[in-house]
Structure 1
Amino acid sequence: MAENSRIAGFRNMTVAQRRSAVTEATGFDGEVFSQLDSSAFEPTDAANLSENVLGVFSLPLGVATNFTVNGTDVLVPMATEEASVIAAASNAARIARPKGGFVTSSTEPIMQAQIQLINVGDPHAARSRILERKSEIIDLANAQDPTLVELGGGVADLEVRLVDARTTTYVLVHLLVDVRDAMGANAVNTMAEAVSGTVATIADGDALLRILTNKADRRIARARAVFDRELLGGAEVVDNIIHAYELAAADPYRAATHNKGIMNGISAVVLATGNDTRAVEAGAHSHAVIDGRYTSLSVFEKTAEGDLVGTLDMPMPVGLVGGATKVHPAARAALEIAEVSTATDLAEIIVAAGLAQNLAALRVLATEGVQRGHMSLHAKNLAAAAGATPEETESIVATLIEEKAFRFDRVKSLLAEIRSGGSR
């Protein structure tokens, strides 16, 4: 892992200087950065990942600094187009450092496949018949992926659920599969296909859907961190952050934006490492529904000492093998930067990043408001879109912040004023 993720002045460095700093912090060969250059992923290679390919679409890839996870310093790769995300996560990680950083843990990497059985005349009895032959079905499923079984994975259990729908009762067979370091979709889908005929015969019905569920609630990663009261801004800020969290816990309208803030951090790391952002997002939002009500994924409380403690438990179906993680050169580079050796390690770092991003957003909302931080970075994007030079951008951003007017038409007028010799 990184010798020290607390890299002084990182945000003010040039791209070349940042690469040198990351190389020094991690100790790996700086040649890894050649994988991040746009020419490293040709359209012909991209055509192996998608269809009707015309080219390659790039996003900024950065690293969040200051992270300590389970006592080890980590540089967290993040791919995002949204201003302030990486800076905010880095700042939250800095606030967590004095209290030990992030502590993480996980369940086993269990993914589930569903087999939907229709036209079953006796659903309750069919459920019993299937469970009576559980071992036979599990053996058939495991025979589809002997390599996974050799690695210590494979089907860990089988469950049968009865779901009452509008016109009938469906029998749903769940295969609970330990997928080890894979995301696991292909493995569980193959197993579901292979056993569907057998379970349909046992149930005296027909198999219809045979596919994984993205409600990966058996594959949970957890993160916890204590955020120093004084570094946050004092006792009032702690109280206000808790008020902001409690609104998200009670109100789905606030929870949607609250959880979006978490996913700003989560999705950026998932995308950077070549994993499936849609699967992770689907699992996250389904996990946020408790007793039929959408609520906050995270929890914030006050410690006995008056500091703020945050926890985040959520599904994290990510892998190190298969898909874009091995094909995309930038994803391979991101995994090298993170220095993870298992999918579980990666999942826990991702959830730590989500908690950091969540805390950063709540702190801003509970103090200065979103405009000053997020919008000042947005102002730089507006200036760049208008064609401003770095020197012109600095002046334009200062004016926009002073005026609190983050509009493209105002950027254009300021740029015109500067270039005509105005006072700005």
Structure 2
Amino acid sequence: MTSRIPGFYKLPPNERLKAVAEQVAVGSEEISQVERGLVLDQAEKMVENVIGMFQVPLGIATNFVIDGQEVLIPMATEEPSVIAAASNGARMARGGGGFLTSSTGPVMRAQIQATGIDDPFAARQAILLHKDELMAMANELDPMLVKYGGGVKDIEVYVIDSRLGPMVVTHLIVDCRDAMGANAVNTMAEALAPRIEQITGGRVYLRIISNLADLRLARAKAVFRAEDIGGPEVVDGIILAAELAVVDSYRAATHNKGIMNGVTAVVLATGNDTR
């Protein structure tokens, strides 16, 4: 297949859909699902108090080469120019080989918050002494995840000062494999909470996933040839604009919002959590 479809934006919507279907080799059933979208019965099973659907345009960003593969990118957004800009940027990146990506392991954290502890640093050491036991308890809850190479890989414990006194917060470091991980991670945290209380003599309140996924990172880079983006003067302008975003929060907010225009559009189009 190829993501380079000249004149794609000039086609009527039904012809665009047909062109995409031909490139990715999908059949009439998948095409009808795109045309029909979500139906009320499906929505009723997804969230509470459903009264209808809220539609957002679904488009395709063309011209992407990612890790040597031609890719057509679905994007759902209400804002004009986002899909066009992504397609144009991808076209300009093709001359330098497109985009190269890398990622860390699919690792998430659970937090177990223990409170009301007289000696929090001793409690921290006690939890660490029971680390192997706690990891084994957690992994017994999801043998399928462990079978495929996932599960709890480590435990970290922090003493955190607060206005309401010190808290001992245990982090379960969980390899979630292909899952987002909330269900598995939360189940593990909830199951370990009573044992944490026994070990520390404290009271556990929060026992839940953290969405600060600092161990689950994805990176992408591309090299743009000066001649493909308008010459050396344009390169200088881009670098100076980016530098302003580094040193000025007003520019940074807009700079980052422009990046998130593309990120959230792809996340929404692929049925993921845009938050």
Q: Are residue 201 (structure 1) and residue 190 (structure 2) matched? A: no
Whether contact under 8 Å (2:145, 2:176) holds in the other structure is yes
Q: Are residue 230 (structure 1) and residue 227 (structure 2) matched? A: yes
- Shift of residue 212, structure 1, vs aligned partner: 0.8
Q: Are residue 86 (structure 1) and residue 83 (structure 2) matched? A: yes
d(CA) in 2 for partners of 1:177 and 1:265?
Answer: 29
**Aligned residue number for residue 156 of structure 2:** 159
- Shift of residue 149, structure 1, vs aligned partner: 1.3
Indicate the structure whose relative CO is greater, using CA pairs within 8 Å and at least 6 residues apart: 2
**Aligned residue number for residue 166 of structure 2:** 169
> Out of 77, 83, 91, which is 2:74 matched to?
77
**Aligned residue number for residue 272 of structure 2:** 275
d(CA) in 1 for partners of 2:187 and 2:249?
Answer: 37
Give TM-score scaled by structure 1 length. Answer: 0.63
- Shift of residue 175, structure 1, vs aligned partner: 0.6
Could you tell me which amino acid in structure 2 is paired with residue 7 of structure 1? I
Deviations 1:45-94 (A, max 9, x none): 10111111011111111111000011011001111111111010000000
The ranges of structure 1 where at least 4 consecutive aligned residues each deviate by more than 4 angstroms after the TM superposition are none
**Aligned residue number for residue 29 of structure 1:** 27
Deviations 1:339-376 (A, max 9, x none): xxxxxxxxxxxxxxxxxxxxxxxxxxxxxxxxxxxxxx
d(CA) in 1 for partners of 2:233 and 2:160?
Answer: 48
Distance 1:43 1:74, change over 3 A: same
Map of 1:335-414 to 2, 5 A cutoff? Answer: none
Could you tell me which amino acid in structure 1 is paired with residue 148 of structure 2? L
**Aligned residue number for residue 46 of structure 1:** 43
Could you tell me which amino acid in structure 2 is paired with residue 24 of structure 1? E
Q: Are residue 214 (structure 1) and residue 211 (structure 2) matched? A: yes
Q: Determine helix, strand or coil for the equivalent of 1:62.
A: strand
Could you tell me which amino acid in structure 2 is paired with residue 63 of structure 1? I
d(CA) in 2 for partners of 1:238 and 1:68?
Answer: 21
Q: Determine helix, strand or coil for the equivalent of 2:41.
A: helix
Whether contact under 8 Å (1:19, 1:30) holds in the other structure is no
d(CA) in 2 for partners of 1:41 and 1:235?
Answer: 47
**Aligned residue number for residue 5 of structure 1:** 3
**Aligned residue number for residue 126 of structure 1:** 123
d(CA) in 1 for partners of 2:28 and 2:93?
Answer: 29
Could you tell me which amino acid in structure 2 is paired with residue 22 of structure 1? V
Q: Which runs of 5+ in 2 are unaligned?
A: none
d(CA) in 2 for partners of 1:255 and 1:106?
Answer: 25
Deviations 1:14-60 (A, max 9, x none): 1121122112212232431211223x522121011111101111111
d(CA) in 2 for partners of 1:133 and 1:110?
Answer: 22
**Aligned residue number for residue 102 of structure 1:** 99
d(CA) in 1 for partners of 2:35 and 2:69?
Answer: 29
Could you tell me which amino acid in structure 2 is paired with residue 68 of structure 1? V
Q: Which runs of 5+ in 1 are unaligned?
A: 279-424
RMSD: 1.1
- Shift of residue 236, structure 1, vs aligned partner: 1.3
The total of aligned residue pairs comes to 275
Q: Are residue 247 (structure 1) and residue 244 (structure 2) matched? A: yes
d(CA) in 2 for partners of 1:152 and 1:102?
Answer: 29
Could you tell me which amino acid in structure 1 is paired with residue 31 of structure 2? F
Whether contact under 8 Å (1:120, 1:203) holds in the other structure is yes
Q: Determine helix, strand or coil for the equivalent of 1:261.
A: helix
Q: Determine helix, strand or coil for the equivalent of 2:46.
A: coil
d(CA) in 1 for partners of 2:28 and 2:262?
Answer: 25
> Out of 171, 175, 178, which is 1:178 matched to?
175
**Aligned residue number for residue 255 of structure 2:** 258
- Shift of residue 231, structure 1, vs aligned partner: 1.9
**Aligned residue number for residue 393 of structure 1:** none
Could you tell me which amino acid in structure 1 is paired with residue 190 of structure 2? E
Could you tell me which amino acid in structure 2 is paired with residue 223 of structure 1? A
Relative to its length, the structure with more helix (as a share) is 1
Whether contact under 8 Å (2:117, 2:167) holds in the other structure is yes
Q: Determine helix, strand or coil for the equivalent of 1:5.
A: coil
Deviations 1:299-345 (A, max 9, x none): xxxxxxxxxxxxxxxxxxxxxxxxxxxxxxxxxxxxxxxxxxxxxxx
Identity of aligned residues (%): 57
Deviations 1:116-172 (A, max 9, x none): 110011111111110111111111111221221122211111111111112311111
Whether contact under 8 Å (1:20, 1:30) holds in the other structure is no
d(CA) in 2 for partners of 1:258 and 1:264?
Answer: 10
Q: Determine helix, strand or coil for the equivalent of 2:45.
A: coil
